[in-house]
Amino acid sequence: MKRLLSLLLASLMLLGMLTACGDKGGNNDNSDAGQGGNSGDQSGGDVVKVRIGIGTDSMPNVYLDENGNLAGENYEVMCLVDEMLPQYEFVYETGTQDAIVIGLDTGTYAAGVNNFFYNDDRAEKYIFPEYPISAGVRGLILRNEYKDQVTEGTTEEMLSQVAKLGLRNVPYSSSESGYTLYTEFNNTHEEQLIFEVAEHDPIALEVQQVISGRYDMISDLRSSYTAVKDEMDPNDETYFIPFNDSGFGTWVLYAKGQEELVAAIDECMAKLYADGTMAAMSIKYYGENVYQYIDGFEYADVAPNPDYK
């Protein structure tokens, strides 16, 4: 508990801090992607700074470690890509998901890293790359008292069960996938899901809120729950039940106008998938190759790279 609280305090203290994976040197004072214009525009061989908004409260995808440093699968993948692209230097500014989205809209950021889900509204406003940065299985986190009342099924079937029971979900902000999922359900069903529209808390606190009875449930990734479960729920008072139609990729979002940057990053991602680095990264953070859950994904069955630690 002390460790989780220290991580959460560090997250609050360091919101807005600028950091980078490593200094590539070079004269980059006049080259700054995310401040208007295509990040691929270069002159005189300068290294182009790419300003990226990144979250800190989505373990194990993006978070701050005990020393207040950025960590997580999403961040580690982006650092590998940065190393493969000497013409760019990724510079990160931490913030909430809403702040990241605003930064993309205003041209402050070239990219946003926060394990983003796909939806049609985002596809109209931002660039989705060819390759996901992660993947996972979504489901429900519930108190054990509901084990006999909520049974595994499709997303629609399980949401119908909890709506009929009148279970209260933790809040979602309007920019989150949970908000979209629940709103679409409520727009097409007589039974209604109960949730507030507000900035959500980190998953660790949300699990505690479910245990305490403040809320009854959470809809989130299995990997997010697994990352905090042992520490936040040592007495096994909650459980995860997956939607059986819920395998999907998660993404980095890019601002319109960053097509050249996206193309360069996609080339790197293809190499990381093909040589098994992404599979090894997945096992490191999630304990399994999560890409197997994406139907038809060309790199779903690549063996993990044994040389990646």
Mean pLDDT per 10-residue segment, the chain (309 residues) = 45 56 55 53 70 93 94 98 98 94 97 93 96 95 96 96 97 86 95 92 93 96 92 97 90 98 98 98 93 92 93
Is residue 207 a contact partner of residue 233, using CB atoms and an 8 Å limit? yes
Q: What is the pLDDT of residue 25?
A: 53
Q: What is the pLDDT of residue 35?
A: 53
CA diameter of the chain: 66
Q: What is the pLDDT of residue 210?
A: 98
Q: What is the pLDDT of residue 58?
A: 86
Residue-level length of the chain:
309
Q: What is the pLDDT of residue 103?
A: 97
C-alpha distances in Å from residue 240, one per residue of 199, 237, 285: 23, 11, 18
